[in-house]
Amino acid sequence: MSIKQSDYETVLADYSSRKRVVSLLGMYREYLEMIPSMRRPTESVITIPLPLAKVRNLKTVSGDCLSSVGTDEITPIPCDLAILMCDPEWKIKIGVEILVFIHRPQEDFSDLLRRWRQSQIYLNKEYEWIMPKTEEHMFSDLAEEIRPLFVVFSQTPERIKKGLLGANLPYVEYIPEVPSDDPEFIPSTMKNN
């Protein structure tokens, strides 16, 4: 059974929510531990679906070719979601940025990996995220580090999962949201630890 566009859209919409992003990070503990405040996890992350960035001296990637565009160009970053960590008290962006790549319909391993590599090229220069309206006031310095997280489906071909594993790239399998009454939902991986 192949992945449908509606599957991809569901995951993108689901993880656009801060609460669900905390749940996503809970599936990969190393990233969950990067959240600045576990007492206020949803206030400690910013999600940017289909992110744009203003990149200085941008060189675009088309296939396997690099070409120059110009200075301070706004460009789409080829990930599906950017997760920025922020201090909930000081309202400043800090630490690591996590780029999420959702397995898309008709996408094979090389396509998925190429999106990560293109993102690395774009964000290797000085850049500034185009922030959501509610976060435009946020001071946005360069990331200490940029890390990937891949989201696959149960029907994702095994060769893609094997390729990600072989390339030492973290991935998680999408799990639909389970309703929770707790507004500050903490993933089950953090309970009883």
Half-sphere exposure of 127 (CA within 13 A, CB side): 26
Q: What is the helix (H) or strand (E) element at residue 152, kind and residue range?
A: strand 145-152
179 contacts: CB under 8 Å, gap ≥ 6: none
Q: Rg of the chain's alpha carbons, rounded to an integer? A: 17
Beta bridge partners of residue 145, listed in sequence order: 96
118 contacts: CB under 8 Å, gap ≥ 6: 61, 78
Q: How confident is the model at residue 36 (pLDDT cuts 50, 70, 90)?
A: confident
Looking at residues 2-16, what average pLDDT do you find? 94
Q: How confident is the model at residue 179 (pLDDT cuts 50, 70, 90)?
A: low
Q: Tell me which amino acid residue 1 is.
A: M
Q: In whole numbers, what is the pLDDT of the chain averaged over residues?
A: 84
Q: Is the pLDDT of residue 71 over 80?
A: no
Domain boundaries along the sequence of the chain: 5-60+69-173
C-alpha span between 21 and 182 (Å, rounded): 15
Lowest mean pLDDT among 38-52, 71-85, 97-111, 176-190: 176-190
Going by C-alpha positions, the residue among 54, 72, 43, 55 that lies closest to residue 135 is 43
What's the token pair of residue 71?
């200075």
Q: Is the pLDDT of residue 116 over 60?
A: yes
Q: Is 86 helix (H, G, I), strand (E, B) or coil?
A: strand
Strand 92-102 vs strand 145-152: parallel, antiparallel, or unpaired?
A: parallel
Instruction: Identify which has the larger pLDDT, 145 or 142.
Output: 145
Q: How confident is the model at residue 58 (pLDDT cuts 50, 70, 90)?
A: low
What is the pLDDT at residue 187? Answer: 45
What is the pLDDT at residue 43? Answer: 84
What is the pLDDT at residue 190? Answer: 37
